[in-house]
Amino acid sequence: MIAENADSARRHCPVAGGELAVRTSGAGPLLLLVPGGIGGADAFRALVKHLRADFTVITYDRRGHFASTDTTSGPVPVQLQADDALAVLDLVGGGPVSVFGTSAGALIGLDLVARYPDRVTTLVAHEPPAVQLMPDATGLLEATADQVRMARSGDLMGAVTRFADGIAGAALPDLPHLRLPHEADWFRLFDRELTEFFDYLPDLRALRRAHTEILPVAGEASRGRYHYQPAKILALELGLPFLEVPGAHLAPQRNPAKFAAALRDLLIDT
């Protein structure tokens, strides 16, 4: 059994306009985990514990979040986030690797494969919010724009509450004076990233050409939520099987043992 902090290392990865905090842990084939949400590697802490016996797991804080820095201003395009992921792969070295991305991290993974397909052997894209693929996305995009306006006008808690209400298993408790942790990271998500993620349309032509094994997946407990449908549409557009995995949108954090087992099976079977 591996001790909690055994064989782990922290490194700094220079990128255009910033520096990323990168962690590696475990032994075996390289596996990059790309975070969604507010971009923190800590969201994968429990998942890594279940994966590092089989993989050398690479995690990082997205630019401007937590221990990573960003000196740029304005919107942060998905393409820039994918370039950051590529920089992490360059830092750790080795040949093509497996990538797991969840939520916005899945969009980053899709852009990474579309533009740098030779760097990724397998991509597991967990519930990518590629709402531009959905024929009925207008209401969702309008709701997202409202959340961005709320955050920028000072009602960050209201924006986060509405955002969480739409995600399976993520609703916040209805408690008075609930303090929002990581306020700066949440504000950055709404102010500079969320619109970029929801406006992003995966390059289907490039993804069809790629030799990367792409696995669009969604949680069985996410059925009926907006973040479930894009994975199904993506699979259909690419002529690939759509797969369900345990749990809901936050399963990598809240059901790490079951989710790690399912992810391990997906990666070993490809």
Residue that is written with structure tokens 């001790």 in the block: 3
Q: What are phi and psi of 67, to 5 degrees?
A: -85, 0
Calculate ∠ Cα 55-261-229, nearest 5°: 110
**What CA–CA distances, in Å, run from 75 to 19, 64, 102, 156, 195?**
17, 12, 21, 18, 8
What distance in Å separates the CA atoms of residue 219 and residue 247, rounded to the nearest whole number?
A: 5
State the number of CA atoms in the 13 A half-sphere of 175 facing the CB.
7
Averaged pLDDT, 46-75: 98
Summary mean pLDDT of the chain: 94
Q: Is the pLDDT of residue 2 over 50?
A: no
**What CA–CA distances, in Å, run from 209 to 51, 107, 159, 180, 239?**
30, 17, 39, 43, 12
From the list 186, 184, 196, the residue with the least C-alpha distance to 74 is 196
CB 207 within 8 A of CB 110: yes
For residue 175, what pLDDT is reported?
A: 54
* 228 token code pair: 């479930």
What distance in Å separates the CA atoms of residue 23 and residue 36, rounded to the nearest whole number?
A: 16
* 39 token code pair: 């971009």
Candidates 3.40.50.2000, 3.40.50.1820, 3.30.43.10, 3.30.300.30; CATH matching 8-131+201-265:
3.40.50.1820
Query: Residues 218-256: pLDDT tens digits?
Result: 999 999 999 999 999 999 999 999 999 999 999 999 999
β-sheet bridge partners, residue 216: 125
Q: Residues with Cβ < 8 Å from 83, sequence gap 6 or more?
A: 15, 16
Q: Residues with Cβ < 8 Å from 29, sequence gap 6 or more?
A: 54, 55, 56, 97, 98
CB 215 within 8 A of CB 263: no
CB 191 within 8 A of CB 148: yes
**What CA–CA distances, in Å, run from 39 to 106, 177, 184?**
12, 25, 12
Sign of the torsion formed by the C-alpha atoms of 198, 200, 205 and 210: negative
Residue that is written with structure tokens 């842990």 in the block: 25
Binning pLDDT at 50, 70 and 90, where does residue 174 land?
A: low
Q: Which amino acid is at 178?
A: L
For residue 169, what pLDDT is reported?
A: 74
What residues does each domain of the chain span?
8-131+201-265
For residue 94, what pLDDT is reported?
A: 80
Query: Residues 124-168: pLDDT tens digits?
Result: 999 999 999 999 999 999 999 999 999 999 999 999 999 999 998
Cα 256 to the center of its chain, rounded Å: 15
